[in-house]
Structure 1
Amino acid sequence: MPHTVEWKVRLHLFEDDEGATKAHVVLDTGTTELTGHGTAHRHPADTNVPEIGDELAAGRAMRELAQQLLDIAERDIEGVGASRPSTRPSVGWRL
């Protein structure tokens, strides 16, 4: 049976008074809301390119969110009695 869902992601980027770019990402699955945060700091000697700070902060926030999802999936896999083998199985869930 096919399974289709839509998850919504909101990403907020802003720069603080010290010049750090910060990202706040929110994932809404409809039943759960997860958040991730990321920060980027430009070295004073570097050229000011705001897009780079945005990319770094957003990437770090999404990486944090991705790790949360993987941790949840691992707990769910263990919760249904599936094991996490050390070698790649021919069938079953893989992380």
Structure 2
Amino acid sequence: MTHAEQWQVGVYLDEESGTTTARAVLDNGTTIMTGRGKARCNPQDVEIPAIGDELAASRAMRDLAGQLMRAADRDLAAMGEVPERPRTGYGWPDDAPRPRR
């Protein structure tokens, strides 16, 4: 079975007074999902807008990715399948061996 789709993702950034907000908007043709992220510049740091953009955008995309994973889990459950246990994007899985130091 061949299947092809094109999903559009737009990332929108806004900066004001040292705070950058981002929206990552996914449009798959039938559903629109929005992830949100924020980054604040420490008042003692040099303000570099590109870093705030990167942080806020990555947080918005991470939020969007989590929403997509939860939607897939719900769809799997609706079909009687057991979704994989929730994963985190950071750290070691609970059952993974830890490296020795």
The TM-score, its normalising length taken from structure 1, stands at: 0.84
| 1:27-55 CA distance string (max 9 Å, x none) | 00000000011110000111111110000
* Alpha-carbon offset, residue 85 of structure 1: 5.8
Q: Which runs of 4+ in 1 moved over 2 A?
A: none
Equivalent-residue separation in structure 2 for 1:14 and 1:75 (angstroms): 32
| Residue 70 (structure 2) aligns with | 71
Identical columns (%): 48
The TM-score, its normalising length taken from structure 2, stands at: 0.79
Question: Relative to structure 1, is the Cα distance of residues 42 and 77 closer, same or farther in structure 2, using a 3 angstrom cutoff?
Answer: same
Alignment length, in residue pairs? 85
Q: Are 2:52 and 1:84 equivalent residues in the alignment?
A: no
Structure 1 residues 6-85: aligned runs within 5 Å: 6-16=6-16, 18-84=17-83
Please provide the CA RMSD for this pair: 1.2
Gaps of 5+ in 1: 87-95
